[in-house]
Amino acid sequence: MKIKTGDKVMVISGHYKGTVGEVKKAFPAKNKVIVEGVNIVKKHVKPSQANPDGGIIEGEAAIDASNVMIYDAKAKKAGRVGYKMVKGEKVRYNKKTGNTIKGGSK
């Protein structure tokens, strides 16, 4: 999977199409990612010691990694991820703009 935690991505399909957000968590084994502000779901929580009132909590759910593309904020374009060698080091880059992708942890 070419999308990593911390990457800026744009959703390219579904209800949140066109939304730009940061990847909060990536699940490479399931090919899914959690994007900030995308796929908001409500969960009913029973009262517990930590949360004595219980209630309804909103949070992000995972979406398939094929539904997002890496986003370049400078060019304001989304593109595919490619790999190239720069000074003997393998780096990721946006194929549409040619800019290297900074950040993104494993």
Query: pLDDT by residue (tens digit) across 58-81?
Result: 999 999 999 999 999 999 999 999
- What is the C-alpha end-to-end distance of the chain, expressed in Å? 10
Domain ranges of the chain: 8-94
pLDDT range class, residue 29, cuts 50, 70, 90 = very high
Distance CA 59, CA 37 (A): 8
Select from 1.10.357.140, 3.50.50.60, 2.30.30.30, 3.90.1150.10 the CATH code of 8-94.
Answer: 2.30.30.30
In this prediction, residue 102 carries a pLDDT of 81
In this prediction, residue 105 carries a pLDDT of 61
Taking a C-beta distance cutoff of 8 angstroms, is the pair 63, 33 a contact?
Answer: yes
Alpha carbons within 13 A on the beta-carbon side of 95: 7
Q: Which residues pair with 22 in a beta bridge?
A: 8
